């Protein structure tokens, strides 16, 4: 069982430049991949997306790739002559309008936006692809390793809640028949007394009591709940992406718990039903992060 939350980072040096890849994943109902690569490396995006989709089955993955000049990188600024001419014209018009004769200095011109530009860092395709893909894979390895660790932590926490639920189901299995019998006996006494006054036969009273006991019986709900628990545990042990299936099983468990709550309202059992529903909700919150 894996978490949908993770982070991975990897670095490498190619052609005197530092390549940094960061990958982070978050909860999402489906599989979604978002990439942020420099324009000079957009050719890598299809391969990177395919790699990412092959590593995660569910969740939103955000991956960024950054290039920065290393100590050995010899990139130099470039003069944009068009921008320089445009600025000179604008400054000449400004000084004329202001009635000044001052000429712009070199330091002023060189600091104007767009005059000196640094070309976007790029890499030769043939030299970059293999090494860049290796760095991408390293970042994804780190991401997936964290997702597995987070998944193990989630599984431990979920199993502790399942253990609590086992105890509550065992108590309800023991106490529910006793409580139903107490209700049946109390109602039987009241009904027989009223039936005698109203002239209703005792056989009819017995039939109604049997129907009432059948409606109050929760053995089927408890049995189905235990079966859902077993299915849930088997899914947790699966190496596949099981988050959606776990959520579906929890919906079924919650349905059975709601039925129990409608039938078992006595003080001796109702708090246990409330506790059971609370445990199911805690597990549901955790499952929202399972791949």
The band of 14, judged by pLDDT with boundaries at 50, 70 and 90, is: confident
Token readout for 150 is 């987070």
pLDDT of residue 90 exceeding 70, the answer is yes
Rounded to an integer, what distance in angstroms lies between the CA atom of residue 263 and that of residue 270? 9
Of 182, 246, 189, 242, residue with least CA distance to 216? 182
| Res. 210: pLDDT tops 70 | no
DSSP string, 149-194: HHHHHHHHHHHHHHHHHHHHHHHHHHHHHHHHHHHHHHHHHHHHHH
Specify which of 82-91, 142-151, 195-204 reaches the highest per-range mean pLDDT.
142-151
Residue 67 token pair: 């290039």
Q: What is the third-level CATH fold of 6-74+122-148?
A: Ribosomal Protein S5; domain 2 (3.30.230)
pLDDT, tens digit, for every residue of 95-151? 888 888 778 888 888 788 887 766 555 555 565 788 899 999 999 999 999 999 999
Tokens 């445009």 label which residue?
Answer: 86
Tell me the mean pLDDT in the region 32-61: 93
**pLDDT category of residue 197 using cuts at 50, 70 and 90:** low
Predicted model pTM: 0.71
Is residue 53 very low, low, confident or very high in pLDDT (cuts 50, 70, 90)?
Answer: very high
| Parts of the chain belonging to CATH 3.30.230 | 6-74+122-148
Say what percent of the chain tops pLDDT 70: 84
Going through 15-152 in order, the beta strands assigned E by DSSP cover: 17-26, 31-36, 59-69, 78-79, 116-117
Query: Which helix or strand (DSSP H or E) is residue 291 part of?
Result: none
Cα 153 to chain centroid, rounded: 14
* Higher pLDDT, residue 275 or 186: 275
DSSP annotation string for 129-152: HHHHHHHHHHHHHHHHHHHHHHHH
Residue 57: per-residue pLDDT: 94
pLDDT digits (tens, 9 = 90+) for 252-287: 999 999 999 988 888 888 999 999 999 999 999 999
Cα–Cα distance for residue pair 158/175, rounded to 1 Å? 26
Residue % of the chain over a pLDDT of 90:
53
Distance of CA 168 to the CA centre of its chain: 29
261-275: burial string, b at 16+ Cβ within 10 Å, e else: eebbeeeebeebbeb
- The residue assigned the tokens 């692809």 is 129
- Which pLDDT score is estimated for 250? 97
């Amino acid at each position: 069982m894996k978490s949908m939350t993770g982070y991975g980072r990897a670095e490498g040096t190619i052609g005197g430049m530092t390549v940094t890849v960061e990958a982070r994943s978050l909860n999402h109902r489906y599989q979604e991949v978002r990439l942020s690569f420099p324009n000079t490396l957009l050719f890598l995006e299809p391969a990177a997306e395919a790699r990412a989709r092959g590593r995660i089955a569910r969740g939103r993955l955000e991956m960024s790739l950054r290039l920065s000049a290393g100590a050995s990188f010899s990139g130099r600024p470039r003069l944009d002559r068009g921008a320089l001419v445009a600025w000179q014209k604008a400054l000449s018009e400004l000084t004329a309008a202001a009635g000044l004769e001052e000429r712009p200095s070199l330091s002023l011109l060189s600091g104007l936006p767009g005059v000196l530009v640094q070309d976007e860092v790029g890499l030769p395709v043939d030299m970059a692809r293999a090494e860049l893909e290796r760095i991408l894979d390293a970042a994804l390895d780190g991401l997936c390793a964290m997702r597995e660790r987070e998944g193990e932590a989630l599984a431990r926490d979920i199993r502790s809640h399942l253990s609590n639920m086992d105890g509550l189901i065992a108590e309800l299995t023991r106490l529910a028949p006793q409580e139903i019998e107490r209700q049946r006996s109390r109602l039987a006494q009241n009904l027989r007394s009223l039936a005698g006054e109203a002239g209703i036969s005792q056989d009819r009273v017995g039939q109604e009591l049997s129907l009432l006991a059948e409606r109050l019986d929760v053995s089927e709900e408890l049995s189905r709940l235990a079966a859902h628990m077993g299915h849930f545990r088997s899914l947790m042990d699966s190496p596949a992406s099981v988050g959606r299936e776990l959520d579906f099983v929890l919906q079924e468990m919650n349905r059975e718990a709601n039925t129990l709550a409608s039938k078992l309202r006595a003080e001796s059992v109702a708090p246990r039903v409330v506790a059971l529903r609370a445990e199911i909700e805690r597990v549901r919150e955790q499952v929202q992060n399972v791949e």
